[in-house]
Amino acid sequence: MVYRGQGQKVQKVTVQPISLIFRYLQKKPNQLKPCEKRSRIQVWLYEQVNMRIDGCVIGFDDC
């Protein structure tokens, strides 16, 4: 995630992927851009760099 501070510097902040998914799913359908309504995601595994998982997030259970 990138945001601008007081001096207009671009600062990169590391966020957990689950936080981004949760924020994405909290948006109401009318707040989503057309390209976000059925966006595909790709998960890169940390310890197996050659393996990736493709799919669409359609729900979220935080339990």
48 vs 9, 44, 51, CA distance in Å?
34, 8, 6
pLDDT, tens digit (0-9, with 9 covering 90-100), for 25-49: 776 666 666 555 566 778 787 788 7
Identify the pLDDT of residue 32. 62
Tokens of 28: 């109401």
In this structure, is residue 62 part of a structural domain? Answer: no
Q: Which domain holds residue 21?
A: 2-55
In this structure, is residue 61 part of a structural domain? Answer: no
What does pLDDT average to over the chain?
70
User: What's the CA gap between 61 and 58, in Å, rounded?
Assistant: 11
User: Would the pLDDT of 11 be above 80?
Assistant: no
Residues paired with residue 30 on neighbouring β-strands, in sequence order:
none
Count of structural domains, the chain: 1
Instruction: Tell which wins on pLDDT, 35 or 12.
Output: 12
User: What's the CA gap between 6 and 23, in Å, rounded?
Assistant: 25
Instruction: Tell which wins on pLDDT, 10 or 43.
Output: 43
